[in-house]
A and B are shown apart, each in its own frame.
Chain A
Amino acid sequence: MSTGPAPAGAGRASADFEVVVGLEVHCELSTATKLFCGCPNRFGSEPNTQVCPVCLGLPGALPVLNRRAVELAVRVGRALHCEIRPSTFHRKNYFYPDMPKDFQISQYDEPIDVDGYLELPSGRRIGIERAHIEEDTGKTTHLGGGGRIHGADRSLVDYNRAGVPLVEIVSRPDMRSADEARAYVAELRAILVASGASDGRMEEGSLRVDANVSVRRTGSDAFGTRCEVKNLNSLRSLGRAIEHEQARQVALLEAGERVVQETRHWNEDEGRTSSMRSKEEANDYRYFPEPDLVPLAPDGAFVAAATAGLGLMPAERRARLATTVHGPDAAVAASTLDQITTVVDLGLDDLVVEVVERGADARLALARAANEAAQSPEDARRLDPGAFCRLLELEAGGSLSSTQAKSVLAEMLAAGGEPDAIARRLGYEALGSEALESAIDAVVAAHPDAWARYAAGEDKVAQLLTGQVMKATKGRANGKAVAAALAARRG
């Protein structure tokens, strides 16, 4: 097994080089049935129980395309700003035991979705070259021989996954860092979930990522020789593998060697990639049009029906929220951008937009959603917008202190209910103005010197006086209201 020169600390690549990353993401479509037969598309069943003549590739069986899979592929294409095109299926021929027909039905030179983009939270757009429909393979377990097919004592194949519909989404080589690649996959995952195409479960293999990584001298327009890295099962693996591969390739180039174009396997435990050097490398897939299927030509009506009900995608949600909070075309501070991204990621943006439309303070709404509500997002998504709006109103109007508002919100998240009632129950009932004035009378009487300095214009004394009023009212007074009352009394 060749691993190349060991890089001295992954990620610390020379500043003279930049990394270029393109990603191929396989996404299992969440259809009820498989791509070409009626078997359930279900994860985790007993091996070889979700199979039939078609997905086992029995002699004489024929594929019949699952309409829902096409609809979902169309939704994905639309969500990625792709052109939806007439497409054909091809056979990709190669021998592998987990592929029942020893060919995979896939889309080759005429994919259904072409030429789109995905917008990262940073605002960077990553080009989407294509997204196409294909069938998944079965799953092989190799016993002995280190878990790889060569040298294994026995291999067991489960065909439950064979024929599960996939879209493979191929990005352009537009990413320039491991972080950006991770952000891309996170964003893509959110889009796939938002479009209803996928459950987005990377750990169950619903999303599988291969990374094409190359490096080049900073400022160069030409691409370096790329390696395709496989076995990336998490965002963490993806980032680590890219950083490792970047360092490995830079080390090679700096040593005067060259990068060999090949497929490399990421070993999570060892933290490095190694050449797969398998016979697959030399495969000639002998693509030709799949004669058992007719060309696919989704017309306008089909596309319209398929994309009906396709809601806002994350980038659109972020833009909408930014506009809601700042108005159109305003520059958004980085910290606010983080809050916006969090709120959209957690699916709380509808709530924020709604309460702002009802008149709530936009920045306050965003802050409470991004900070407090975000602690229990599932509960937050169930929040009654009217109640949340009222809470924000109480806080903004000074009836509740921010500490109190946060406590009431925590209660609302945990058990629901109306903020006024919760505040009363917690004893946060705002002081009536008479009670407040009499508390201030008492404090002024008790601290005549401080009052005199304040009255003479020494503003910083207000803090001390306010603190005394809060103490006297056991925290029931609202800080802002106290300050306002003091100022009014000073005249």
Chain B
Amino acid sequence: MSWSGGPHGAPEPGAVGLAARVRAGEVRAADVAEETLERVGRRDGELHCFNVVTADAMRSAAAAVDRLVASGADPGPLAGVPVAVKDNLCTRGVPTTCSSKMLEHWVPPYDATVVTRLVAAGALVVGKTNLDEFAMGSSTENSAFGPTRNPWDTSRVPGGSSGGSAAAVAADLAPLALGSDTGGSIRQPAALCGVVGIKPTYGLVSRYGLVAFASSLDQVGPFAATVADAALVLEVIAGHDEMDSTSLDRPVEGLLDATGSGAGGLRVGVVADFLADASADCASAVRAAAEVLAGAGAAVEEVALPELLHGLSAYYLIAPAEASSNLARYDGVRYGLRVDGDDVEQMNARTRAAGFGPEVRRRIMLGTYVLSAGYYDAYYAQAQRVRTLVARTFARAYERFDVLLAPTTPSVAFPLGAKTADPLEMYLADLFTIPSNLAGHPAMSVPFALDPQGLPVGVQVLAPALGEVAMLRAAGVLEAGAAPGARGPVASRSEAGR
């Protein structure tokens, strides 16, 4: 196991605390930036969390925050807090590659809305984090630029597709990170890296500037070492955006407060069907989590929701279908990679063959097939019916429960290469996370236990649409009741030192 730590050995205060100290003038954002860049420089060669580190921009952002503090102006709720941004979120003037050869040299002329909001809140962007190409994968091994390694055990994957972001937080290369979650791409790597990851309600966070994988499922969300930090980021990035037609026009309030307000009276359903499909360690972590919630005054009960397990097959029809259309634009005509040919069709074909990796090609072919005349009803339309079934199953459950408790993943972090030969085996990594995407519901992973090998185990809290407050109340209690050392390597060491 490998550890990282601040150069001064000081306990990390978390993003909420760090921002408070920067705003109070006790800590200079410039120093935070230098310490962060130093750690990244020391560790990232091995871990490969980042595709690019934007050191200069980070330094000037830090200087701007310090100037605001000095002038007495409000630098924002994330003042001076470093944040790592998944490399499928557009950053003006900074390459946004989606870890694909197709976009290796593409530099967006605009910022994603979430990036704009983070920067406006005083956050310091460290760089762009590695992912499975176009967010398709569960291990970050599908990156065209090489895999990210899990800081807990560098022979293992960090999960995916937001593996770079999860690993960056786990290794304390940044206290905060943004990811995107289409079928579990935030929660699954969060669980495998022992950090907190939230997939918000569909529409709560703007997708403008998120390079689309499957538009009806994609949602941007935070990674953090603590539940409170994740809630704070969500408060900053959530809210209506007129550039995204699917963005909800609802006020977002009380998320940070919810993390400390306990689970008293909360009705919690434990998804029994998921326990049967999870490893013994993952299942027992959920049972222990149920006891923690019960002990905090929640009413906990097992519930059978077998229909949710059908979500996986529906997802692997709907997501590729949308992806086949979303990724059509990478044709060599306007931007990104171009491989010339004798005519436009040959140029298109050569460009796409050279630019996309095998998993992306597989999903484009699958999605194209699914939407084809003659197959649409049997596949795409049928998958939409299953999607409705999943939503109805959740709706029935949420008549009785405020939140559901489930494993995030079927297993802990697996070794690099263990599942690359068998795509279906890899797809199963998202079995428990997919239903929330299909329903558009929020869900999050909270680090809760360690397995006998010392690898982190996450538990998942699911909630109905816009049920973030109840979800964060449960998550706050679970965090407090988690096994010592279950979250983030840095936090575990500092706790051990207390």
Contacts and interface: CB of A to CB of B under 8 A. Distances in A.
8 contacts: A57-B329, A60-B89, A61-B110, A62-B208, A64-B245, A95-B331, A287-B371, A291-B322
Nearest to B373: A284
Band of interface residues on A: 20 to 34
A56 to B, nearest CB: 7
Contact of B371 (A58, A97, A102, A288): A288
A150 interface: yes
A425 interface: no
Contacts of B90: 59-60
B481 interface: no
Contacts of A102: 328-329, 331
A60 B245 contact: no
Given A95-B348, A291-B216, 4 more contacts: A57-B334, A64-B243, A286-B373, A288-B322
B462 interface: no
B344 interface: yes
A91 interface: yes
Interface string B392-405: 00000000000000
Contact of A286 (B243, B334, B368): B368
B228 to A, nearest CB: 29
A156 to B, nearest CB: 11
B328 A58 contact: no
Interface string B360-372: 0000000010011
A470 interface: no
Contacts of A56: 334
Contacts of B335: 58
Contact of A103 (B208, B243, B244, B325): B325
B242 interface: yes
Contacts of B331: 95, 97, 102
A59 B106 contact: yes
Q: Which of B103, B112, B333, B376 has the most CB of A within 10 A?
A: B333
Contacts of B372: 284, 286
Interface in A264-293: 279, 284, 286-288, 291-293
Given A58-B335, A157-B333, A294-B245, A286 B325 contact: yes
B215 interface: yes
B422 interface: no
Interface of B: 88-90, 96, 98, 103, 106, 108-110, 112, 207-212, 214-216, 242-246, 321-322, 324-325, 328-329, 331, 333-335, 343-345, 348, 368, 371-373, 376, 380
Contacts of A91: 325
Interface of A: 53, 56-65, 91, 93, 95, 97, 100-103, 149-150, 155, 157, 279, 284, 286-288, 291-294
Contact of B325 (A93, A157, A293): A93
Given A59-B96, A95-B348, A288 B321 contact: yes
B348 A288 contact: no
Contact of B98 (A59, A93, A292): A59
A288 B380 contact: yes
Contacts of A149: 343-344
Given A56-B334, A100-B334, A65 B371 contact: no
A370 B348 CA distance: 58
Q: Which of A56, A63, A64 has the most CB of B within 10 A?
A: A64
Contacts of A64: 242-245
A356 B419 CA distance: 87
A93 B98 CA distance: 23
A62 B326 CA distance: 11
A427 B40 CA distance: 99
A284 B376 CA distance: 11
A97 B368 contact: no
A62 B244 CA distance: 6
A363 B258 CA distance: 81
A279 B380 CA distance: 25
Contacts of A57: 329, 334
A97 B321 contact: no
